[in-house]
Copies of this chain bind each other. A is one copy, B any other.
Amino acid sequence: MSKVLAKKAQKKDALYNAAFDLFTRKDDSDTSISDIAKKAGVGKGTFYLYFKDKYDIKNKLVARKAHSIIQKAGEALAAADIPGLEDKLIFLVDNVIDQLSGNPALLRFISKNLSWGIFKNAMTEENGEIDENYTYVLDLLMENAKETHTDPDILIYLIVELVGSSIYGSILYSEPVSIEELKPHLFNTIRLLTRAKEK
A interface list, Cβ under 8 A from B: 29, 115-117, 151, 153-154, 157-158, 161-162, 164-166, 169, 175-177, 182, 185-186, 188-189, 192-193, 196
Q: Are B161 and A166 in contact (CB under 8 A)?
A: yes
The interface centre, meaning the residue of A154, A177, A188, A193 with most chain B CB atoms within 10 A of its CB, is A154
Question: Looking at chain A's contact residues, is the secondary structure mostly helix, strand, loop, or mixed?
Answer: helix
Q: Which residues of B contact A117 (CB under 8 A)?
A: 169, 175
- How many of these chains are in the complex? 4
Q: How far is the CB of A16 from chain B (nearest CB, A)?
A: 22
Q: Are A176 and B154 in contact (CB under 8 A)?
A: yes
In the assembled complex, the Cα of A115 lies from the Cα of B165 at a distance in Å of: 10
Q: Are B115 and A189 in contact (CB under 8 A)?
A: no
Chain B minimum-CB-distance residue to A162: B162
Q: Are A116 and B157 in contact (CB under 8 A)?
A: no
In the assembled complex, the Cα of A153 lies from the Cα of B177 at a distance in Å of: 9
The interface centre, meaning the residue of A153, A162, A164, A182 with most chain B CB atoms within 10 A of its CB, is A162
Q: Are B185 and A151 in contact (CB under 8 A)?
A: yes
Q: How far is the CB of A44 from chain B (nearest CB, A)?
A: 13
Q: Are A176 and B116 in contact (CB under 8 A)?
A: yes
Chain B minimum-CB-distance residue to A196: B192
Q: Which residues of B contact A154 (CB under 8 A)?
A: 176-177, 182, 185
Q: Which residues of B contact A185 (CB under 8 A)?
A: 151, 154, 158
A158's partner among B153, B189, B196 (CB-CB below 8 A) is B189
Chain B minimum-CB-distance residue to A112: B112
Q: Which residues of B contact A116 (CB under 8 A)?
A: 169, 175-176
The interface centre, meaning the residue of A117, A165, A196 with most chain B CB atoms within 10 A of its CB, is A165
A164's partner among B165, B176, B188, B189 (CB-CB below 8 A) is B165
